[in-house]
Homo-oligomer: A and B are copies of this chain.
Amino acid sequence: MADSVLSDDEVRAIDAYWRAANYLSVGQIYLLANPLLREPLAPRHIKPRLLGHWGTSPGLNFCYAHLNRTIRARDLDMIYVMGPGHGGPAAVANAWLEGTYSEVYPAVSQDAEGMRRLFRQFSFPGGIPSHVAPETPGSIHEGGELGYSLAHAFGAAFDNPDLVVACIVGDGEAETGPLAASWHSNKFLDPVRDGAVLPILHLNGYKIANPTVLARIPEEELVQLFDGYGYMPLLVSGDEPESMHRKMAAALDQALDEIAAVQRAARSGRTSARRRWPMIVLRSPKGWTGPKEVDGLPVENTWRSHQVPLSGVRDNPEHLEQLAEWLRSYRPDELFGEDGRPAEALRLLAPEGDRRMSANPHANGGLLLKPLALPDFRDYAVSVDKPGTTLTEPTRTLGTFLRDVVKANPSNFRIMGADETASNRLGDVFQVTDRVFAGERLPTDEHQAPSGQVMEVLSEHLCQGWLEGYLLTGRHGLFNSYEAFIHIVDAMFNQHAKWLNVTRRLPWRRPIASLNYLLSSHVWRQDHNGFTHQDPGFLDVVLNKKPEIVRVYLPPDANTLLSVGDHCLRSRDYVNVIVAGKQPALNWLPMDAAVAHCTRGIGIWEWASTDGGEDPDVVLGCAGDIPTLETLAAVDLLRRLFPELRVRVVNVVDLMRLQPPSEHPHGLPDREYDALFTTDKPVIFAFHGYPYLIHRLTYRRAGHANLHVRGYKEEGTTTTPFDMVMLNDLDRYHLVMDVIDRVPSLGGRVAHIRQRMSDQRLAMRAYTREHGADAPEISDWTWPY
């Protein structure tokens, strides 16, 4: 590797920039006041509680300074993803040096007083978080929970052909599963229509308390590993700043030349062969330039520099002196003017305007967000003359709509799925696009191409991470998954919801497209795959997050799914969860009624009710396609068994309507809720998920004591669809039995009918088991009269 990329002056300039960022990082961790050390450092200048992560910060600053050089030299459009996001001080330091921080937060001005505020606010109550966070300009990535940086980086690069995403991968983070899988994202990047990702694996050797795996394998293995992942690894290793500056600059130039060559080759159409993308392995000491030893123990280049290398500084004069020395080692007087402003030489090194990584609009994706071009979803409606007489696969219908969404938004919309898009019956999208795959392709492959808007990999983590990166940089998308396996990304969902929760409070962060989940192949129709595929609990995880962020929809048929799908694609800053079936299911509502029903989110189905609009004897609530089917089948039975019984059917599409308005913005006012469910009549509620969830949403409602919920209670195996509902007491017969048990006017005199129901459900079960039959309840359906 050439060592001559930089002139001596350039080395000095970059080193100064790096020293400034390091100084500002240390200052944030330690100082309350006296930011420029204009007076001797005293205990009262030190924060009473020392928080923050020093260890990774000098490495982050090092990369940032060097990337800045390349941005200026090549006029690059580049963003910076910090995997070791606990290095918050580094991100903030660079944003302040570039001026962005003061533009976004004017109180933290680019002068001595601003620097004092910058230091004081860090990891201080009422100030800013210790990690790279939504509050940090230039970031699309929170480094609190590790593992997602590289997936985010690739997501940001998709459909951004002119963007380079520099992604620092920590060697701790690199041990996580999601990160280990993310390296293979290079097989899903199209050098023609996508931008580039430049991973920089930062081997600083240690986690909180342990060495890292990748820092402790032979270099030969390390190179083989990244060769094997399909990269061209470039190694930069050492601890002497000057030579490291030269090596890093040379490696970056080589990497960026290589990226340009890959893109030129691909975009000129000269070659279709996959070329290796470069990546950099930077091996530098943890806590580089920090204290070498503290209290006789080695600190720099050990895990002891992970957080705060010098503790108890207020009370320990020796540590205080060591801190002063450490700060002075960066020679702040050379770096900052009398007024505290960064020296002009430094300011000239920073890129300008939107080219600053801290100000790049891609890192505040809402700035770039264009609404989707959406066809009218009504055009895809299933015709419904009479409820419950025709069968449609709801997700297949949605697929026809999505096909045209894909087509109308060729570089603005992607569908992610873990090898399940066709299985979830969205296959019509393949009429207009392909699955992206940059690996070898064979003649027998179908819908595989280097370019496409569907991304399939058998990793929910990658699907989620890519989509997050794509959305955070201002685009739109949908993640379709088997319902049970979306739990794999519970933690990622949590973090994204937290991100949205914070960004909604930051006026300078512009709204981004919602994260849309389509959960199909759901619990009630996993009779064939069995118990492991039956889990509707993602909804419970989702509803723990802030009500302002989360939305859950359970459209009962094809037309309601279309309406809900369209709504979600138009929304901003939410996480929308849609649960919908893929199996042939009865259509209930013509499109106009579906739109009206979805707009209300909850409502009485008068055509299915027998209360004639008057006071009912019992309310049957339902949410979800199969619970709706079983509920209407129960009404069918009740009509015949008890013609005089006044039954009201309430269907819920928008689950949040059940909560009081004090708990969720969609919450139905008590008066309206009571008008639907009554305050004194028994309510039998058939629910798609775990029954407790409905109680949790409704426990404040007046009629809650009368509410009886059926749902999934962890019963299931490989069996028939009917057996699935029966094992969980959600079947039509059991719902009738529930009505019998709870409507006092029926009590006593109908024990024989209850027994008949009990017999019939066993007979139905035996029938389906005997015939290994698929959903006999649908073909036997006799609704309506």
A126 at the interface (CB under 8 A from B): yes
Chain B's closest residue to A223 (CB) is B228
Q: 27 interchain pairs (CB within 8 A)?
A: A123-B718, A124-B772, A129-B717, A131-B530, A144-B532, A145-B484, A145-B488, A146-B458, A175-B459, A176-B177, A177-B178, A177-B179, A177-B461, A180-B184, A181-B181, A208-B423, A211-B442, A212-B458, A216-B440, A221-B229, A225-B227, A484-B494, A502-B531, A537-B541, A544-B690, A692-B696, A695-B699
C-alpha gap A195/B532 in the complex (Å): 29
**Which 7 pairs show the lowest CB-CB distances between chains A and B?**
A225-B228, A144-B532, A177-B177, A216-B439, A224-B228, A125-B769, A180-B180
Cα–Cα distance between A209 and B423 once the two chains are bound (Å) = 8
Interface presence of A419 (CB below 8 A):
yes
Chain B residue at minimal CB-CB distance from A712: B544
In the complex, chain B residues whose CB is within 8 Å of the CB of A177: 147, 176-182, 459, 461-462
| A512-553 interface (Cβ within 8 A of B) | 528-533, 535, 537, 540-541, 543-546
Residue A12 lies at the interface, judged by CB distance under 8 Å to chain B: no
Name, among A183, A532, A720, the residue most crowded by chain B CB atoms within 10 Å (CB to CB). Answer: A532
Q: Is A384 in contact with chain B by the CB < 8 A criterion?
A: no
Does A49 count as interface, using CB distance less than 8 angstroms?
A: yes
Could you tell me if A130 and B458 are in contact, using CB atoms closer than 8 angstroms? no
B210, A532: Cβ atoms closer than 8 Å: no
CA distance A125 to B768 in the complex (A): 8
In Å, the complex CA distance between A363 and B650 comes to: 49
Pick the contact of A419 from B147, B172, B714 — CB < 8 Å? B172
Q: Are B529 and A130 in contact (CB under 8 A)?
A: yes
B51 and A718 contact, CB distance less than 8 A = yes
Given contacts A211-B439, A221-B230, contact A540 B544 (CB under 8 A): yes
Cα distance, A440 to B216, chains bound together (Å): 5
Contact B208 A144 (CB under 8 A): no
| Docked CA distance A144–B228 (Å) | 28
Once bound together, how far apart are the Cα atoms of A124 and B692, in whole Å?
30
Q: Which chain B residue has the least Cβ–Cβ distance from A540?
A: B540
Across-interface contacts of A145 in B (CB, < 8 A): 484-485, 488, 532-533
What is the bound-complex CA distance between A445 and B768, given in angstroms? Answer: 63
* Contact A491 B498, beta carbon cutoff 8 Å: no
Residues of B within 8 Å of A218, CB to CB, are 440
* Residue A302 lies at the interface, judged by CB distance under 8 Å to chain B: yes
Known contacts A180-B180, A440-B217; is A173 also within 8 Å of B458 by CB? Answer: yes
A225 touches B217 (CB 8 A): no
Question: Shortest distance in angstroms between A453's beta carbon and chain B's nearest beta carbon?
Answer: 15
Q: Is the C-beta of A398 less than 8 angstroms from some C-beta in chain B?
A: no
* Bound form: Cα–Cα A163–B46 in Å: 57
Encoded as 1 (CB less than 8 Å from any B CB) or 0, chain A from 476 to 501 comes to: 00000000110110110011001001
User: Closest residue of chain B to A53, judged by CB?
Assistant: B529
Q: Does A113 contact B (CB under 8 A)?
A: no
- Name A210's contact: one of B216, B435, B543 (CB within 8 Å): B435
Is A719 among interface residues, defined by CB-CB distance under 8 A? yes
User: In the assembled complex, which residues on chain B have CB atoms less than 8 Å from the CB atom of A172?
Assistant: 419, 458
Known: A209-B420, A211-B448, A217-B439. 4 other contacts (CB 8 A): A125-B772, A175-B458, A179-B181, A208-B419
